[in-house]
Structure 1
Amino acid sequence: MNEADFLALLRPLATHPAARGFADDAAVLGDLVFTHDMLVEGVHYLSDDPPGEVAWKLLAVNLSDLAAKGATPVGVLMGYTLGVDTAWDKAFVTGLSCALEHFETALLGGDTVSNPAAPRVLSLTAIGRSSIAPSRSGAQAGDALYVTGTIGMAGLGLAELRESSAATGENVERYRRPTPRLSEGRALGPIVHAMMDVSDGLLIDAQRMAAASNLALEIDIDAVPIVGEWMAALTAGDDYELLFAAAPDAALPVNASRIGTFAWGTGLTLCDASGPVPLPNPLGWLHQAAAQ
């Protein structure tokens, strides 16, 4: 069973309107926005990543989901797994304090468990406020697809760290310390028809937006602002830029690149200056159950 299969099992239980049918990265209850993300050692971060950087990433990836709803953070609840390394725990708390201060976010509570024999599992629930909170399912036929920033730097950073844990530089910084686009999300909220962040890879996340909106989507890979080889950049994930649908003549309040077009129909297609481009497999990151 993979992530999508499990969500399909859960979806009939998500009957409250705030759950948005599990077709979004956040729940919206009035003007409150709730999101929850986890980091697992060896899956979302490397075992030798500095604990302070892991704390930053845990907060940042959750705030990125709030950014995609045009929300302002209110506070967070944390679930923390204690290991056997007290120094690691202390450094994590120091890093978390810096991240909370930087993003002007409060730690409201949570839970702590001890599981020294297993990889660390860290989780966070972020709460924000937004009067608009665009979903990922509101794209309209004829809309343009846009993305903020540059795609692929975090994937390169991860590759560099896998080659050498001593690697440094801008790519590594983008991987370990992502920046949630909070101000951009608030500016875009009143204008966009759909919005989400790029966490699992631009292609798989764009496909999710198109599927949630019951539309077809064509992406011009020449128009995507990438770093490195195009397939690796578009499928690596961890970019935490904003992906959004808006009218092609919309006056955007932020810098963004137009990379595709929505149309009636279904499915994701790619093209470049030479014509159609086959879809890579996989399109991005998808959690899978461990083999038995």
Structure 2
Amino acid sequence: MNWLSNITPPGIKKMLRQLDDGNDNKLWTKCASCGEMVFHKDLEAAQHVCPACNHHMAINATQRLCGLFDDGNWDKIELPDVVADPLKFRDEKKYTDRLKEYRRKTGEKDALTIGAGKIDGVDTVIAVQNFAFMGGSMGMGLGDGILKAAQEAVFRKAPLVIFTASGGARMQEGILSLMQMPRTTIAVQMVKEAGLPYIVVLTHPTTGGVTASYAMLGDVHLAEPGALIGFAGPRVIEQTIREKLPEGFQRAEYLNEKGMVDMVVPRAEMKKTLSGLLRVFMRHGVKAAEMPDNVTPLPVMTAPDGEAAETGAEVSDKDALDKAAE
């Protein structure tokens, strides 16, 4: 045993112990990409983006929602209650014990947080996956959360925006976790049938069953710089095909070049970009100067009955298309 531990327990240990929940008591943070030491207050002001290399560090759902909604004001929408351990699963520890551990660490019920508020005056529902909660894995709790977010968007007649971050389906729930793929697809369809926009923001990493379902069904797909996006990881693909993959394969910039991602948006510009897109979709009269770069105004969205969706405007699809083409 260390002599320092013998003479000063437990004071020194408490001073040196790193907290489970991250950087709350740290003055400096080391960038995982470039190794630069960044003063924590400066990092918070930069929305946890490294000023030296532009590496986008992970942030929790509350930080993301407060940075997007006007004045940081939003209403939290509670997740539905689900069966905690339907398969009585156990590996190194009980699944119920894992859930308790991650709920204590994150303060959240599951790997999804839903908020409702305004983005530059546009009512919006945002669902954010938390990678810190069991790798953002998709289980029944998250599936029900996506359904809840979709229902809330339809009820409020508001757009739905989802920030994805996940390693895929939650193995502790077996086939029940895979069933969330069609369930979340139905949730997205509910939003689209209501004539409301659905925007996906892909953050690092987005893989597995999440990529194979609601993460690829958006009207527009945005991504943060450097985000890993795909179904299987690059190492698995290389081992399967026995070939070296191109540099940057499955990263946001590469997928943007190939057309899988519409825009790569830095975190500092995310609110402005979402605001411009939502105003176009909801027809809030955006000026050209407010439009994000490389975004073309879209024709009027119509509800299933052919009427303009919640705008009160009497514009036919043909008129809208002609106007958009001018």
TM-score normalised by L of structure 1? 0.26
Give me the TM-score of the superposition, normalised by structure 2: 0.24
* Higher strand residue share: 1
Larger Rg: 2
Higher relative contact order (CA 8 A, sep 6+): 1
